[in-house]
Structure 1
Amino acid sequence: MSRPDAFSEQPLPLFTAEAAPVLTPGSKLPSYIKDHRKRLRARFLDGGADALPDYEMLELVLFRAIPRQDVKPLARRLLDKFGDFNRVLSAPVARLKEVDGVGDAVALELKIVESAAHRLTQSKVRQRHVLSGWEAVLDYCRATMAHLEIEQFRVLYLDVKNILIADEDQARGTVNHVPVYPREVVKRALELNASALILVHNHPSGDPTPSQADIDMTAQIDDAAQALGLTLHDHIIIGQSQELSFRSQGYL
């Protein structure tokens, strides 16, 4: 018999949502669940997120929402439905609740973690020189948009020193289309007294290759911006594992 991995654990009893033990307020948490949670927390503290696979990271999040039940089956169901940890966090509340075992407490906990991640990456961009911290901008865009199931179009508005003054969700669409109105984009720039802007949208398919509609829309916004003395620095398309810059690809 092969030697078990150093991080392997004894198999835990598996429960379906219907068969999982229901604990009353006065009952004690079974020792195997308590020990499993203790081991996961210790491994996370010792090795960080890299020490845990997606389903165990989900378990850590679910511990708080469901303190008196084995959450491993629910973590597995969430991953089966959405694919990975990031897509679980990014899923709309209505879609999360389609999974057996997800109620208000679970949905809230997942959305809190998602919002915390967005705020952390956003803090590295806010009130900073955007062009000199380009990687932080990309990290923020990836965190907020790479795992969305529908297209979203955002505009980063910059002042004369290229400091971010506003990040606005301009439009949301379908899985392969989002309506964008160039006039509204530049009008908002004037309202904010912005001097430059960066366009960002995602492709839920994962492929950041721009469509002809993307190219035409970008050209229209660029023309409108130049007419008003504004600078369009770039248009970034966020895919699942990579992104595309219109500027670096010669579209701008």
Structure 2
Amino acid sequence: MDSATSEKSIIALDSWLQTPAGSYVRAWEQSRLDELTADIFGYNAVQIGTPQIDALAASRMPHKWLADTVPHPTEVTTGRPVALTLDGTELPFASQSLDLVVLPHVLEYAAEPHQVLREVERVLIPEGQLIICGFNPASLWGLRNVRGRVTGNRYLPPAELISMPRIKDWLKLLNMGVSHSHFGCYAPACRTEHWLARYAFMDRAGARWWPYFGAVYMVQAIKRVKGMRLIGPAWSKKTAKAPVAVPATNKHRKHG
């Protein structure tokens, strides 16, 4: 996928997110992101792409920014201003300057997803965290999308869907340890709100019986640095007791 095609696909994704299926995805991702980001502490957080989702709404970090990869007036529909437009392969942040980066549906629409991850790893501080949202190719939606390539009737905007195991392999190569992963949205690929509601029971059943086949997934990873170990609070450590010295007179008496 070249850069021009990538930009068109991102704009198509923005429109798709306003559809009933897109609202279904946004609701699940917003709920899960609120749960994850509320427990991540630090100072600086950045969301890149998909401004229709407020990925940092529940974050308690003092400095939060929304960035996008294409220049369009999304703040008109989202109500949130886009702080800057950037190239995901060359992030305009200093190395080791961010505590949290969120990539909602960025990698599958990126021309160079590997380079995007390398840049994210560069700008994260040690023990900084990354959250990735993506469409699952091993799902009913993924199968519908494959069929749509042949018939020309796509369900999702054109994208190179990336599986969660593949994402985990890429993260492992960058010394990023996966801490949590989630799947969601188990309803079939319906286009209307009525039919999506009819299949709402599948969200409960799917999470229990076929958990890895949700239409979307979320991966949370931590930047690991070799040779670095976090030190816990002093009160959590047990103070070592000094050995009791034996008086010299006792030693002589013993030998005698």
TM-score (ref. length: structure 1): 0.28
Higher relative contact order (CA 8 A, sep 6+): 2
Give the structure with the larger helix fraction.
Answer: 1
TM-score (ref. length: structure 2): 0.28
Give the structure with the larger strand fraction.
Answer: 2
Whichever of the two has the greater Rg, that structure is 2
